[in-house]
Chain A
Amino acid sequence: AQTVTQSQPEMSVQEAETVTLSCTYDTSENNYYLFWYKQPPSRQMILVIRQEAYKQQNATENRFSVNFQKAAKSFSLKISDSQLGDTAMYFCAFILNTGNQFYFGTGTSLTVIP
């Protein structure tokens, strides 16, 4: 079975500070892609960052970076220089290379405090 666990239902961070969101997942497959999605109150699911499981190098996208530990099946998201616009629900997800569906976690609600 494929599962994703986000153990932090809510988090807050001061504007301009750094915050890390945790995610662990479980799959017996070896080839997959990992994602962090942002869902603001507008409901639109927005891709934040993607990581290919076969790549050891951690993905970065401007202020967003991940810490991917494949053996531990851990995939955390670090947001640097937090901005008010980062306030949203964040979902960790993965999809198998041969699959047709995303597996999502339950989300972390992030609030950036001015």
Chain B
Amino acid sequence: DAGVTQSPTHLIKTRGQHVTLRCSPISGHKSVSWYQQVLGQGPQFIFQYYEKEERGRGNFPDRFSARQFPNYSSELNVNALLLGDSALYLCASRGGWTVYEQYFGPGTRLTVT
């Protein structure tokens, strides 16, 4: 079975631009979470979506938004990019109610110049 997939692998954007990152969960998984990992730090929780509804949000500004589609894939959108948004964005997929059964994708490396 395919694992969690994320696209693109990496991209470079300019300050003020908008970016969309994509995540496809493991087949059959209905929950997707997004994390931001700044260089030298541990991942920080941004959002969790389950059955297309937002179920949790971390301490991130409104410039960050996300959505989940009927096929359970997800998009993370970031508006008005800042230099500080440069990070690895990780997506995690979860199958059921067991909170610990989460699998991470390979991440998208975003560089804002």
A contact set with B: CB distance below 8 Å: 4, 33, 35, 37, 42-45, 50, 91, 93, 95-107
Q: Is the Cβ of B56 less than 8 Å from the Cβ of A33? A: no
List the 9 closest pairs (A to B, CB-CB), nearest first.
A104-B42, A101-B45, A45-B104, A100-B56, A33-B100, A100-B48, A43-B107, A44-B106, A104-B43
Q: Which of A45, A96, A98 contacts B90 (CB 8 A)?
A: A45
Q: Does B109 contact A (CB under 8 A)?
A: yes
Number of A-B contacts (CB under 8 A): 54
Q: Which listed residue, A43, A93, A104, touches B88 by the CB 8 Å rule? A: A43
For this complex, into which size category does the number of interface residues on chain B fall? 20 to 34
Cβ-closest chain A residue relative to B44: A104
Interface of B is mostly: strand
Nearest chain B CB to A24 CB, angstrom units: 14
Residues of B within 8 A of A (CB): 33, 35, 40-45, 48, 55-56, 58, 88, 90, 92, 99-100, 102, 104-107, 109
Assess whether B40 is in contact with A106, with CB atoms less than 8 Å apart. Answer: yes
- Give the Cβ gap from B37 to chain A, nearest Cβ, in Å: 8
- Residues B106 and A97 in contact, CB atoms below 8 Å apart: no
Question: Who on chain B is nearest to A98 by CB?
Answer: B99
| Shortest beta-carbon distance from B7 to chain A in Å | 14
